[in-house]
Structure 1
Amino acid sequence: MADPVVEDRPPVSEQFAPDAPSGADPRVGATPSATASPEVADPEDLRRDAYVAPFREARSIEYFVVAPDTLPTDAVDAVREIGDVEHVLTVDAARVLVDDQATSVLGVDPSTFRNHAPKPSAESDDVWQGVAEGRIALSKDVGTERELEVGGDITVTGGRGEVPLEVWTHATSGIAGIDALISRETAAALGVPEGNALVVSAPDADLWELYEELGAVLGEEVSVQLVTDAPEPSVSGDSVPSSVIEQVIANAESQLGVPYVWGGTTPGVGFDCSGLLQWAFREAGVSIPRVTHDQWNAGERIEFDDLRRGDLLFWRSDPTAPDYISHVAIYLGDGMMLEAPRTGLDVRVTPVRTAKYAGAVRVQT
């Protein structure tokens, strides 16, 4: 069997952020992210022999739940009965190898999951028809950063061996850390655990109360990941002291010139954007989450005019998921920032970009 997607995450109190406005500097007038229907390989290759229901309505995802093994039916039913929970979708989750690199994948029913996907993908019949017929949809980050081109062939390896798949599209799932979507039939062929994960839609719920209720129903072995932007804090902490922030920045600066590597977390070898910052903070004794979206929910939201050294800067730059936080850097002051930008570029210091800028966060302890 493939390993389930269960990532170490900080306490949920560290994933929530205060209800403070954020956004680009109004003096600059940053442009919002453009939306685009994801490109697919060749629609003429579709057999159209697998039924996919049309897009019906947009459904939010507040939490993504994943367990090591199949979730019991009574536990899933109990989640559905929680007040304010509107929809619960069962999916299959695991870590597999995509061309020998570990990648988190979901096995989904395209007819139902599409309603929870970011709008540009949700409305594309071709995207979901391709997944239903056995292709793989890679996230925009994985597809571009690892140069796995649309229409190309890759090898996916799970607990039951290798399966050759065509890259059908680059379309972000909207769930942080999930970088590939396949059909549940393909997931079964790979040995992905069946029904070990849930997509929970509860747009009117109090997120903190819902987290507590999910934990009570599902137990300690189940990972509960916040997917939506948190509108308010559960617990307010103290900002990281300036002396510690200076150590964080010194750690990050020590990696200038190190290559960007997708998924990279190794000093002197390679980092991705969020991996670099997690390492820099950890070396200074501060724990922050691993993935960019969770870092966005890890502190106090800060207005552009109130930025100070050590604040984290975020962007929404994925046209297939315009609401998705997709990049992070650390502010150095005087309009400069440090980042691990993308494949082909090294860790560098550069002026702050306001195009597609989402906001800033001051990390709390």
Structure 2
Amino acid sequence: MVVLGALGSPAWAEPGPGGADRPPTTSYSLPSGATGSSGSYPSPPVADSGRLDRDVRVAPFDEARSREYFAVAAESLDPDLVERVRAIDGVRSVEVVDAARIRIDGVVMSVLGVNPSTFRNYAPAPSAKSDEIWQGIAEGRIALSDDAGKQRDLELGSTVAMAGAHGTVDKEVWTHATSGVAGIDALISRASAKELGFPRGNGLIVSAPGADLWQLREDLRKVLGPDVSLQVLAEESSGPRPYDADGVPVSEEIVERMIAAAESQLGVPYVWGGTTPGKGFDCSGLVQWAFRQAGVEIPRVTHDQWWAGEHIDYADARRGDLIFWRSDPTAPDYISHVAIYLGDGKMLEAPRSGDVVKVTDVRTDRMAGVVRVHVADQ
């Protein structure tokens, strides 16, 4: 088991807040083909609610709480430190979690141990309102992210082996529901996390609706110190700052080298979590690898790649820009897919399980936006 550490920020800058409106917390429009009432997404299904023992009490959904930052350390955070975070101006609430990377079904995944009664208030709306999801987690089952569960064919009701510091424990896959914390592949209860040997209380979800996210980041740094990694989860700034980025856009030479590297992988299978040329890539793994071949380091996960440069309109996109989508029905405000724009309405992507790296027409449905990657200097 490996404790969660650095979150993959580029060496020249941390992912930072931008200026777009934050998606609403409690209501969303329906995706194509979805069903539900009052314009909301339906809750993700669970394996079998009839098998719930209900011997562990889970509090009902209270109120939606925003997610501004995720902080994670290698070791448990001192309770006094947590209280100092709670006291930061603009912070409304702080949720303590246990965070670690462990092997699930033989693949390393990032996992949070959570209190189902309280963490549900920070979860995306489709999951937050489902009593069955949180009851199942409280009773020792695992919630995989929509991507990890479906792309790896880990079906509801199946059993996965979780290899922690205290040995291997089998858990039932209870639901496919993305947590809303970028890069997190699964949720379990804090009791299950303790059973597996997770660090206790080494992570924080910070809710500070309406705060200036740039100032909040500085305040968190001052309190938590340099050994605690910070990841921005929200997308709104209280100030008039536009979407922009430090440094300068990558050169045309770098763009062409990056695209050539990506094109060399055409036909390679999609593999969830894949980063291996000739064997398998997922969408963000392919993008990171292609840029690396051109001498540029960008983050690993899609959400963090969203912060790797200047945000622009699709109408202004040019060859080599990255296109992003919000297509996860369990977390409608979540950045869930990325592709490389080739120009003339074409893009290169690693689409999904069962498919291969290929060139396709650009899809505008549920597109989140376009990013032009920046570097410090060239």
Q: Is the shorter-chain TM-score for this pair beyond 0.5, marking a shared fold?
A: yes
TM-score (norm: length of structure 1) = 0.94
Q: 2:311 aligns with which of 274, 278, 301?
A: 301
Structure 1: which amino acid aligns with 2:330?
T
* 1:247 and 2:253 correspond: no
* 1:77 and 2:83 correspond: yes
Q: What does 1:202-351 align with in structure 2 at a 5 Å threshold?
A: 202-229=208-235, 231=237, 232=241, 236-351=246-361
Partner of 2:169: 163
Structure 2: which amino acid aligns with 1:219?
G
Q: 1:100 aligns with which of 99, 103, 106?
A: 106
Partner of 2:25: none
Partner of 2:146: 140
SS at match of 2:112: strand
C-alpha distance in 2 between matches for 1:324 and 1:13: 22
C-alpha distance in 2 between matches for 1:303 and 1:283: 27
Distance 1:38 1:317, change over 3 A: same
Partner of 2:119: 113
Contact 2:17 2:214 in 1 (8 A): no
Partner of 1:363: 373
Unaligned runs of 5+ in 2: 23-28, 35-40
* 1:90 and 2:58 correspond: no
C-alpha distance in 2 between matches for 1:307 and 1:235: 16
SS at match of 2:249: coil
Contact 1:258 1:271 in 2 (8 A): yes
Structure 2: which amino acid aligns with 1:345?
D
Contact 1:229 1:297 in 2 (8 A): no
Distance 1:31 1:75, change over 3 A: closer
Structure 1: which amino acid aligns with 2:192?
T
**Matched-pair identity in %:** 61
Unaligned runs of 5+ in 1: 23-29
Partner of 2:15: 15
Contact 1:18 1:299 in 2 (8 A): no
C-alpha distance in 2 between matches for 1:160 and 1:86: 35
- Note the C-alpha offset of 1:99: 1.0
C-alpha distance in 2 between matches for 1:67 and 1:20: 29
Contact 1:175 1:227 in 2 (8 A): yes
- Note the C-alpha offset of 1:109: 0.4
* Number of residue equivalences: 357
TM-score (norm: length of structure 2) = 0.90
Q: Which moved more, 1:268-277 or 1:203-212?
A: 203-212
Distance 1:230 1:339, change over 3 A: farther
Distance 1:263 1:61, change over 3 A: same
Distance 1:83 1:348, change over 3 A: same
Structure 1 outlier segments of 4+, above 4 Å: 30-34, 230-235
What per-residue deviation string (whole Å, max 9, x for no partner) do you get for residues 292-315 of structure 1? 011112211111211110110111
Contact 1:64 1:225 in 2 (8 A): yes
Contact 2:56 2:139 in 1 (8 A): yes
Structure 2: which amino acid aligns with 1:77?
E
Structure 1: which amino acid aligns with 2:207?
S
Q: What does 1:189-204 align with in structure 2 at a 5 Å threshold?
A: 189-204=195-210
Distance 1:20 1:159, change over 3 A: closer
Structure 1: which amino acid aligns with 2:325?
W
C-alpha distance in 1 between matches for 2:122 and 2:73: 20
C-alpha distance in 1 between matches for 2:236 and 2:166: 38
Distance 1:57 1:304, change over 3 A: same
Q: Which moved more, 1:224-233 or 1:181-190?
A: 224-233
SS at match of 1:364: strand
C-alpha distance in 2 between matches for 1:37 and 1:58: 15
C-alpha distance in 1 between matches for 2:47 and 2:279: 33
Q: Which moved more, 1:279-288 or 1:37-46?
A: 279-288
* 1:177 and 2:183 correspond: yes
Contact 1:340 1:346 in 2 (8 A): yes
SS at match of 2:257: helix
Partner of 2:5: 6
* 1:40 and 2:51 correspond: no
Contact 1:315 1:327 in 2 (8 A): yes
Distance 1:20 1:88, change over 3 A: closer
